[in-house]
Amino acid sequence: MVAALLIASGCGANTYRIPNSDLQRLAAMPPELRGQQVRVVQDMTDTPVPGTQPVTVDTQVVVVPNVTITHDHSRRGGGWGGGGGSGGRFSSGGGIKLGGAGNDAKGAAIAFLVVAAVALFAIAAAEGSRFDGWAHLHPMHPVHLIGRDGGYTVMPLAWIDPGTAAWADKAIVRRSEGPWHELGRHPLYRTGPTYSMYGGLGSLRSAYGDLAMGSAFTVQAGYFPANQVGIVGSIFFGWRDNQAFETLFESRYTLELQVMPVAMGPLHAGFYAGGGAAYRFEDGVPNGNSGSRALIGGGMLQLDVNTRIALTARLGLANAHEERMTDVLFGLAVY
């Protein structure tokens, strides 16, 4: 239900945001060329801005060189002199055994992973349905500007000067207020919050001393201040049966740095490293429960699905309980 609501709200949004960096780039271009390639990011839900007169393909491009924003946030520098067809005026796995710390932890982990998977599906569905890329707009397409001081005005794209672009905190365009042609999606864009989940196999060492493969899962959330660098918190769960046919459960709680410097078309590569704490709960073994610090690191490969979603593979090493373990995980990262 949550996923369906998020998908519906994302697909139905008629408002798009022009990133501040792109707005400033457009403001420095010749006014008649500004609509050729505009970066737009679809809102999850419509931004509540007043409606205004739409333009058409026949609307004349009118350049007003001295547009300013006054203290009361109204627009100055000449009226809207639209031509052509417009002429309007702008206004503002497995069963769970009973008993034992290992089994109890495994049961809690499975419940947590189910919730995490549902959340991942909902977020991925919502983000995947939004358009984030470039569009061709008419130079006179209305842009709704909300200032850093809370002020509001609306003006054609061709009228925005560098000062107005610097004043604006948000720049909103409506798909319904002028000709609109999508040119293509932006490549994978990690900057901002991130959420991911992976599953696969990991080697888990028992208190008996033997090392064997078991189920392994990782859930992560964090933030990428730049497209190639991010910091995420990570929760790792792994389990298998030991020699006593009881449950060995391993958990790690770490903070990791992710660096993705290599991009070859839709394929990306990088590495991660971090540290935190690890806990082992093992049933059927005297003194089978232990805790220690954990050091982790490894390589990552990503394949673009769209601007905000990437299929991800991780090959990792972990040092915990004075032992070395490995894992191979595959899953989805949403940005």
- CA dist 163 and 293 (Å) reads 52
Q: Position of tokens 């939004």?
A: 130
What pLDDT, on the 0 to 100 scale, is given for residue 80? 47
> What pLDDT tens digit does each residue of the chain (335 aa) get?
555 555 555 455 889 999 999 999 999 999 999 999 999 999 988 888 888 889 999 888 887 655 445 444 444 333 343 333 333 334 334 444 445 788 899 999 999 999 999 999 999 988 888 899 999 999 999 999 999 888 999 999 999 999 999 999 999 999 999 999 999 999 999 999 999 999 999 999 888 888 899 999 999 999 999 999 999 999 999 999 998 898 999 999 999 999 999 999 999 999 999 999 999 999 888 877 889 999 999 999 999 988 999 999 999 999 998 889 999 999 999 99
Kindly state whether residues 222 and 295 are assigned to the same domain: yes
The pLDDT value given to residue 5: 54
Q: Is 167 helix (H, G, I), strand (E, B) or coil?
A: helix
- Residue 270 CA, distance from chain mean position: 18
Provide the token pair at 322.
Answer: 């004075």
What is the phi-psi region of residue 307: left when phi exceeds 0, alpha when psi lies from -120 to 50, beta otherwise? Answer: alpha
In a shared domain, residues 237 and 297 = yes
Answer yes or no: are the C-beta atoms of 329 and 200 closer than 8 Å. yes
State the angle between helix axes of 101-129 and 2-12 in degrees (0 to 180), rounded to the nearest 10.
20
Query: Residue 289: is it exposed, middle or buried by C-beta count within 10 angstroms (0-12/13-18/19+)?
Result: middle
Domain with 238 in it? 188-334
Residues 255 and 175 in one domain: no
Do the domain assignments include residue 40? yes
Which residues 6+ apart lie within 8 Å of 271 measured at CB? 258, 259, 297, 298, 299, 300
- pLDDT value at position 256? 98
CATH no. for residue 200? 2.40.160.20
- Do 242 and 147 share a structural domain? no
Phi-psi region of 12 (alpha: psi -120 to 50; beta: other; left: phi over 0): alpha
Structure tokens at 132: 């984030």
Residue located via tokens 């995980």: 329
How far apart, in whole angstroms, are the C-alpha atoms of residue 237 and residue 256?
16
Regarding whether 166 and 40 lie in a shared domain, the answer is yes
Q: Please indicate, yes or no, if residue 124 is contained in any of the structural domains.
A: no
Residues 158 and 21 in one domain: yes
- Position 320 scores a pLDDT of 92
* 262 and 219 within one domain: yes
Cα atoms in the Cβ-side hemisphere of radius 13 Å centred on 214: 23
The sign one gets for the Cα dihedral 226, 197, 271, 276 is: positive
Query: Which of 272, 322, 327 has the alpha carbon at shortest distance from 293?
Result: 322
In whole angstroms, give the CA distance from residue 335 to residue 332.
10
- What does the DSSP 8-state code read for residue 117? H
Please tell me the total count of domains within the chain. 2
For residue 16, tell me if it sits in a domain: yes
Same domain, 195 and 173: no
Task: Tell which of 146, 170, 185 closes a domain.
Answer: 185
* Same-domain pairing of 40 and 65: yes
Q: What is the pLDDT of residue 78?
A: 38
CB contact set of 8 (below 8 Å; sequence gap of 6+): none
pLDDT at 82: 39
Please tell me whether residue 154 adopts helix, strand or coil conformation. Answer: strand
Cα end-to-end span (Å), the chain: 22
Shared domain for 86 and 63, answered yes or no, is yes
Tokens 């009973």 found at: 98
Same domain flag for 170 and 36? yes
Dist CA 325 CA 134 (whole Å): 45
Whole-structure pTM value:
0.73
Considering the domain architecture, whether residues 173 and 83 belong to the same structural domain is answered as yes
